[in-house]
Amino acid sequence: MTKLSVNINKIATLRNSRGGDLPNVVKFAKDVQRFGAEGVTIHPRPDERHIRYQDARDLKPEVYTEYNIEGNPIKSFVELVLEVKPTQVTLVPDAVDAITSNAGWDTIKNKGFLIDVIKEFQNNGIRTSIFVDPVLKQIEGAKATGTDRIELYTEAFAHQYSLGNTNAIKPYAESAKLANSLGLGVNAGHDLSLDNIKFFKDNIPDLLEVSIGHALITESLYLGVENVIQMYLHKLK
């Protein structure tokens, strides 16, 4: 079964909007695991507008499933990840002022940089994944960096699927097939939801993990967190 990793950034956003510590990020991470999630994802940004670097440290002893930290590998981020040593680090080429992730790596142009960063994480026992668009030459470029996995950036699929265009899955299926043939693990994330997750999973061979935050939290406002996690797990079987 494809693993469900819950991105808890939105919980930190809600906390930060009022100050204080409600809702508590660590408690929420413990709860989603108790409800069945097989991983917890955070994406600390330099301005700490949602997840703070200290949150990453506080979560470490409480995440007993897979702990995934996403982010642009600037110096402070690299130092944080090497300190915390999560299960996986997902490298995302975010601009400092990006509202949310909006593009995958150019794995060819950034090959040398990615090789060096990935090697440092792997030497410290941290599995690496890099955020990529569903473009075959970028998948081949990812293989050349030495990464363990790729994470397919799924916003374009989600948008087209919402318009009824099921053919939007094709480049993702082809990219996953190529990645598998090259020995790369395949993760996916961004705008996946209860509406599209089953179709996506059913068409992507050997999908190892999905990271879902914004949609899952939004759906939980109406349906409840525990119920929504169970719904995702059912659709991912």
- Encode pLDDT of 44-54 as tens digits: 999 999 999 99
The percent of residues above 90 in pLDDT, for the chain, comes to: 94
Q: Mean per-residue pLDDT for 79-106?
A: 84
Single-letter amino acid code for the residue at 33: Q
Task: Tell me if residue 105 falls in helix, strand or coil.
Answer: coil
Structurally, the chain folds into a number of domains equal to 1
Q: Rounded CA gap, 85 and 88, in Å? A: 8
Which listed residue (38, 50, 190, 209) is catalytic? 190
Which listed residue (70, 151, 209, 219) is catalytic? 70
- Residue 103: which pLDDT band, with cuts at 50, 70 and 90? confident
Which listed residue (43, 66, 151, 209) is catalytic? 43
Q: Is 209 a catalytic residue?
A: no
Q: Rounded CA gap, 206 and 162, in Å? A: 24
Single-letter amino acid code for the residue at 39: G
Predicted TM-score (pTM) of this structure? 0.95
Q: Rounded CA gap, 107 and 100, in Å? A: 20
Q: Rounded CA gap, 71 and 94, in Å? A: 7
pLDDT at 97: 56
- Range of the structural domain that residue 165 is part of: 3-236
CATH of residue 92's domain is: 3.20.20.70
Q: Is 159 a catalytic residue?
A: no
pLDDT above 90: residue 77: yes
Backbone angles phi, psi at 42, to 5 degrees: -130, 155
pLDDT at 101: 55
pLDDT at 94: 75
Among positive and negative, which fits the CA dihedral 81, 176, 33, 19?
positive
